[in-house]
Amino acid sequence: MITVFGIRNCDTMKKAFAWLEANAVAYEFCDYRRPGVVAAQLPEWNRCAGWQALLNTRGLTWRRLSEDERTGIDEARALQLMVAHPTLIRRPLVAMGDHLLLGFSPASYARLLG
């Protein structure tokens, strides 16, 4: 069983859900916004993928941060921001044991989950 982390109303998440269902891949969904989820999981995600891969700097949440919050970003600051603003984490994030799959690509999903 895999766990898919993210937010349900995201377009990319919807594409990932559709792919998983069309390919009969069993999964559990966990919303980033559920209290304590990110704080509990982020250290392990950071260990597996690195904060640079996790931090979504293309999204609306990033653009809404103040210039001061976005300037001089390092690991500690990035992790702090992701806990405070879970939608800064790239999505979907698929956890398969010690492996993470970030974002959605039909080819990468087929290769790793198909």
Domains and their CATH numbers in the chain: 2-113 (3.40.30.10)
Reported pTM: 0.92
Give the residue carrying structure tokens 């500690």.
Answer: 76
Please list the pLDDT of the chain residue by residue as tens digits (114 residues). Answer: 899 999 999 999 999 999 999 999 999 999 999 999 999 999 999 999 999 999 999 999 999 999 999 999 999 999 999 999 999 999 999 999 888 999 999 999 999 887
DSSP class of residue 50 equals -
Active site residues: 10
How high is the pLDDT of residue 46? 97
Q: Are 6 and 94 in contact (CB under 8 A)?
A: no
